Amino acid sequence: MRQELTSFDGGTAIRQRRASPMAWLLAAPLFAWVVAFVVAPTLIMLVYSLCERGTLGGVVYHFTWENYAAVADPTYLNILVRSVVFSLVTTLACLVMGYPVAFYIGRAPEARRNLLLMLVMIPFWTSFLIRTYAWVTILKSEGLLNSVLLQVGMITQPFEMLYTPGAVILGLVYTFLPFMILPIYTSVEKLDNALIEAAFDLGAGPVRAFSKVIVPMTSPGITAGILLVFVPALGLYAVNDILGGGKVDMIGNIIENQFKGSARNWPFGAALGMTLVVAFAAALWYTGRRPRTA
């Protein structure tokens, strides 16, 4: 049975409900999942990051700060900064391209809305790796893109796009664009037409109505889309391995090499991973502290 508490704020009674034991019992599987697959791995990674590397790899449980000192090395700081910049560029590109698409789908007639959403979801029907390798065929010197541009006369000789930072960013944008479109679409779908019409009736032009009414009302979807793109793009390494050819190091590739590659330095890889966790927490804190528009 739920217990109710009554408090007073400015003379107004506020009734608060306390969760019953049954509610806690129903939520127990979720809490257990979070503890087992989020909290526990993070704590293990934190412990590893404070240990030493064994002679032949592995972990020696001897406390040290050397792994975090190594993270501060200019080489790794440059890689971290590059990863953040790539993630920011990817997020901005997804927002610029995804918002108009999400707005169009959200304002489209209901009969066409499901079809348009299905078109956005089609890339998920194919393996992520297959889709990424397909870009190799498109971007290579003898690939589809160069062939088309040569045929139409826009270029006189093939240009190198593959294994460049541009190819990595292109792959990241292609991978995460649906993750920007879908949450913004959810907010656009809930737009109150009366408020938009009221803005026009009060003399606002299209630009002012968009910036002062539509954008604030869809800000929850924008925030969710930014987080869904920026956070995973920061640690993703498969796109860089395939489209960057290992020539453009990102923090995810360095972490992968510490655990799976030749480095075999789990403590240092864990320290790099904890650095990403801090970056993720900072992104969540920054977006959470922004004032929300009701």
Q: Is residue 6 part of a domain?
A: no
Region 214-228 average pLDDT: 91
Q: Is residue 12 part of a domain?
A: no
Note down the domain range covering 270: 73-289
Model confidence at 294, pLDDT cuts 50, 70, 90, reads: very low
β-strand partners of 37: none
| Residue 35 counted as domain residue | no
Give the number of other Cβ atoms within 10 Å of residue 294's Cβ: 4
Average of pLDDT values for 113-127? 88
Q: Which helix (H) or strand (E) holds 17?
A: strand 12-18
| DSSP codes, 201-250 | HTT--HHHHIIIIIHHHTHHHHHHHHHHHHHHHHH--HHHHHHSTTSS--
Q: Is 44 contained in some domain?
A: no
For residues 11 and 230, give the distance between their C-alpha atoms in angstroms, rounded to a whole number: 44
Distance (Å, whole) CA 223 – CA 212:
17
CA distance 136 to 99: 27
Residue 164 has pLDDT above 50, yes or no: yes
Q: Which tokens hold the place of 200? A: 């026009």
* pLDDT score of 176 more than 50: yes
Domains in the chain, number: 1
DSSP class of residue 197 equals: H
Write down the pTM of the prediction: 0.82
- 50 is a domain residue: no
Question: 131: part of which helix (H) or strand (E)?
Answer: helix 128-139
CB atoms within 10 A of CB 68: 16
Is residue 53 domain-resident? no
pLDDT of residue 291: 56
- Residue 67 placed within a domain: no
Question: What per-residue confidence (pLDDT) applies to 2?
Answer: 47
The residue among 178 and 22 whose pLDDT is bigger is 178
- Hey, is 277 helix, strand or coil? helix
CATH of the domain at 227: 1.10.3720.10
According to DSSP, residue 190 is labeled T
pLDDT over threshold 70, residue 197:
yes
H-helix or E-strand spanning residue 182: helix 165-189
Q: Confirm whether 96 is domain-assigned.
A: yes
Please write the tens of the pLDDT for every residue from 230-239: 988 988 888 9
Task: Please give the structure tokens belonging to residue 235.
Answer: 């640690």
